[in-house]
Amino acid sequence: MLEKIKTMYNPVPGMAPEKIGPTVGQNIGKISLPSTTLHFFDLGGQRDIRSIWPKYYDECHAVVFVLDACDQARLSETWEVFDEVLNSPRLLNLPLLLLANKQDSPSSLSVAEIRESFDAWQRARSNRLKEEEADKITNKGKEKGKEPIRTAEDAAKAAAEAAADGPAGTASEAGAEPGSPLEAQTWDDGGAKDERMASLDVMGASALEGTGVRDAVNWLYIRVQNARKM
Ligand SMILES: Nc1nc2c(ncn2[C@@H]2O[C@H](COP(=O)(O)OP(=O)(O)OP(=O)(O)O)[C@@H](O)[C@H]2O)c(=O)[nH]1
Ligand SMILES: [Mg+2]
């Protein structure tokens, strides 16, 4: 994608698609636009390379997450990685674009299908977390049920414990253990994540044919200009 951007915007063309191998570390590039120069850091997407991404978060002004819209088998992995980026506290206030690449291919998912796929993945995860939470509460109840109440003193203690636990299924039960996935789920960010989801920008492009590339660069140009005015 970055090489195509260079070819379209710079006098010296970027590398031809057939010569591009997987990005090891970073690939950099810049393009000049009216009153702005955009500097790009193209970071490799392979598992081992993803650990370097956060090193760039403090320096960047916008993020474009490029996904392979043909690779349906890896979409679930893609959403896990994307969700982490989406929820990175250091990126929370930055413009974020989800760019569905390979739109030239007949097997590519459309922008609408990509959005739907991510929504479905999020719904499934949320249901899974709720089930885990319900199981936890049920198991806890069973444990308690096992304890024989022998004396009046024991009965009073059991009643006090039950009262302290609060009604089953309330937020007091959810994600009680620090560091659990539930805790991440219930982390209060003042609704910033919901807002981000509602305003998530998704676009389609083809790095091979160049369709959608100018729209994506314009998106970046506008966001970076706006950020500068603030
Ligand atoms: N049909 C089609 N193929 C593409 C397009 N963009 C990239 N490819 C092909 O997809 C393969 C992977 O492309 P890369 O550009 O290396 O993918 P990448 O996302 O940068 O991968 P990493 O650098 O490992 O993160 C190559 O065979 C490319 O030729 C596209 O827009 N359409
Ligand atoms: Mg690459």
CATH of the domain at 31: 3.40.50.300
User: Is 125 part of a structural domain of the chain?
Assistant: no
Decide: 63 and 90 in contact? Cβ < 8 Å: no
- What is the rounded CA–CA span in Å between residue 206 and residue 45? 17
For residues 203 and 182, membership in a common domain is answered with no
Judge if the beta carbon of residue 26 lies within 6 A of ligand 1: no
The two three-digit tokens of residue 69, written as one number:
């819209």
Nearest CA to ligand 1 atom 2: 102
- Same structural domain, 64 and 177: no
Residues 60 and 41: their CA atoms lie apart, in Å, by: 9
Q: Please check whether residue 32 lies inside any domain of the structure.
A: yes
From residue 216, alpha-carbon distances to 49, 131, 203, 213 in Å are 24, 39, 7, 5
Q: Is 175 found in the same domain as 80? A: no
Site of tokens 């796929």: 117
The answer to whether residue 50 is domain-embedded is yes
- Measured by CA distance, the residue closest to atom 24 of ligand 1 is 22
Residue 131 lies in a domain: no
Is 151 found in the same domain as 68?
no
Total of domains in the chain: 2
Q: Give how far Cα 27 sits from Cα of 32, 40, 42, 110, 151, Å.
A: 17, 8, 5, 27, 72
Answer left, alpha or beta for residue 187, where phi above 0 means left and psi between -120 and 50 means alpha.
Answer: beta
Regarding whether 56 and 20 lie in a shared domain, the answer is yes
Asked if 56 and 159 sit in the same domain, the reply is no
What pLDDT is stored for residue 171 in this prediction?
41
Same domain flag for 57 and 112 = yes
Residue 78 sits in the same domain as residue 144: no
- The answer on 215 and 181 residing in a single domain is no
Asked, for residue 171, whether it belongs to a domain, the answer is yes
Which pLDDT does position 149 carry in this prediction?
58
Distance from residue 159's CA to the centre of ligand 1 (Å): 62
What 8-state DSSP symbol labels residue 178? Answer: T
Distance from C-alpha of 46 to C-alpha of 22, rounded to nearest angstrom: 8
Q: Give the domain range for residue 63.
A: 2-120+191-229
Residue 152 lies in a domain: yes
Q: Are residues 34 and 109 in the same domain?
A: yes
**Residues 63 and 115 grouped into a single domain:** yes
- For the beta sheet containing 96-101, the strands, ordered from the edge strand earlier in sequence to the opposite edge, are 63-68, 96-101, 201-204
- Residue 45 assigned to a binding site: yes
Do 72 and 175 belong to one domain? no
Q: Indicate if ligand 1 lies below 6 Å from the C-beta of 106.
A: no
- Domain assignment present for residue 214? The answer is yes
Along the 230 residues of the chain, how does pLDDT read in single tens digits? 999 999 999 999 999 999 999 999 899 999 999 999 999 999 999 999 999 999 999 999 999 999 999 999 999 999 999 999 999 999 999 999 999 999 999 999 999 999 999 999 999 999 999 999 999 888 887 777 666 656 667 667 766 776 676 554 444 443 334 444 444 445 566 777 777 777 789 999 999 999 999 999 999 999 998 877 76
For 112, counting Cβ atoms within 10 Å of its Cβ (0-12 exposed, 13-18 middle, 19+ buried), the class is: exposed
E strands of the chain, at which residues? 26-33, 36-43, 63-68, 96-101, 201-204
Establish if 28 belongs to a structural domain: yes
